[in-house]
A and B are shown apart, each in its own frame.
Chain A
Amino acid sequence: MTEQALEGLKVVEYGQFISAPYCTKMMADLGAEVIKVEEPGIGDEARRYGPFPNDIPHPEQSGLFLYLNSNKLGITLNVRTATGQRILKELLREADILVENNPPQLIKDLGLDYPCLKEVNPRLIMTSITPYGQTGPYKDYKGYDLNAQVLGGQGTVLGNPNREPLTFQPSQGHYQGAINGAAATMVALFAREATGLGQRVDISEFQVIAALQRGAFMPMHKFQGAIGTRNAHRGIALLWPYGVFLCKDGYFTIMTLEFYHWQSFIEAIGSPEWATDPKYTDQFTMALYADELEAHLVSWLVDHTKQEIGEICFQRKLPFQPVYSVKDLAESEQLKARDYFVEIDHPVAGVLKYPGAPAKLTKTPWRVDRPAPLLGEHNEEVYCKRLGYSEGHLAELRRAGVI
């Protein structure tokens, strides 16, 4: 069997919740070895986050933790102790990559900032993912996912202009940090091929959002004074109908990029009389009667399900889509045909379904070989078998609260 794409790469994760864990999950799912470092006793906060089967909290049954930490080895280590820091550095001596998402000041206080780690292992790539980044006046500010998204201008065009701007749920700022962390780490890996040296990779969640989600419209602002505007459930005013509309069992998105899309849709739904009104048969005047037209449109939509409308649009190749709920995703024939969901057996949580591959590689496919680790599950394997600690030494470290 051909080796996996990232086989041979050794990654250490010192982080929690979402951004660092999803970043290393992407690497683990392509064959990198990931050792996840958790605080003894308490572990990653995602273990307490849920969701839980039947809503009964259990640190080994948190849906978020189980999903984000498959394929990883799990060890406990109290990095806030001098001994813990020494042991982490021992691990990093042999590692290619460290991914962490701690506040920059904490990393400095623990003696784990890049200049220190560079001494330990000049080949180490240290990827740090934070809401604001490692530089700039806000670098030591407190930030949650919400703050990163908002500073990044994510909500500029999201929501009702008369209400608060919206952000993407759940925690999409952290996921943006994660995927950009994985991408940028690969750049550093390639750089290392030429130089033989590692480096610090600085991923700021607000910046990846500002640039990649929203940044392309800055020339319009500079030269035309344009700013992004919120238009509630409607898309930008230039096209019509364009937006998300209520239907019988949920919502449907419609984007009339070309007038023939609308004409085809009207035909498909039996050419109702209101649609023949001259106001609505001219692409340019239609937008002037947006409210009226929407009322007519929705009066038809609310009598039909997402599936019915979806089928019509699919047959006629209209770029109008049903808004899938998680239930729709779980039952999706498309995702089933793609074998998108995977079943993983976990020693405590049992067999559960999980989201699968972000993309398919033909020679080195994405795969899950092991479930998320129990807290400290691989302490023996990593400390004894690899670092050569005796069982006695491990017991000592445990008693002293280091492991």
Chain B
Amino acid sequence: MTTLVYLEHHDGELLKGALGVLGKAASLGEAHGVVLGSGIAGLAEEAGRFGATKVYVVDDPALEAPLPQPRVDAVAGLVQAQGVETVLFANSVLAADIAAALAARLDAGLNWQLADLVVEGDGLVGKQAALGDSVMVDVGWTRTPRLALFRTAAFDPVETGGQADVEPVSVSFEGFSVAARLVEHLQEEASGPSIEEAEIIVAGGRGLGGPENFTVIEELAAALGGAVAATRAVVDAGWYPYSTQVGQTGKTVSPKLYVACGISGAIQHKVGMQGSGVIVAINKDRNAPIFEFCDLGVVGDLHSVVPKLTELVKARRGG
């Protein structure tokens, strides 16, 4: 079985989520990748080291800005020319738009929020986390091509050290696909690693009491070598930037360790972080829902527990 994986990149690097999906594709059979952009030589070889045997490259100025529609033209052309039966995407703002438009263009089924994909008979079955993760659903496709969008960080990348054949492809774009244009990119101030790539996350909620108290969260994150995240409530209140928001309207993360400080654990937040390896929660309200799905819960005042924890971690790391 050959599958095509959409390899999203940013700042000259393939995204970890896309490489994870590539590893999954390689485990199912032959994995091909597609890299789209402008001035992107080098990324294709990188994909070879993570399981791709062939990488199609479209290098075109029309693909410079991170906009979905010209990418739909490129991937659709490739699927039609190569008879691709399955295209896999790691979820992102950009990838979701590409996958959905491709579904319409190719009259192809798209299943999203997939946690896994398995071969059954001569077909594929997706494992979908549905209804706010309250139920896992087996989903299928009635025909090919099949399109699948995996939830954030569904798989870890696997470095195989292989080499990919690199095949340049040219594309002609639809008029409407290049009508939208990027006016400017506003980089958001981000200190530390992005939360979707982080292996350790320390998150703060309303229990912090105020934006100034995020320093205790930042200090623990720094001591652990992790990233800082926030709940929707504190982002809405303007205490912390949206780019750090975990939850249904923010990001879905699955670090090895998630330390939740002053977070009640509302379903809105839970769906964004319950895939974490180990969840440690510190909250003074013993009835907070987070204590129902954490691994280690501490009923206590975060303003006392968290700074002590930071000191102990620093001492442990230093010694």
Partners in one complex: no
Instruction: State the A residues within 8 Å of B (CB).
Output: none
Instruction: State the B residues within 8 Å of A (CB).
Output: none
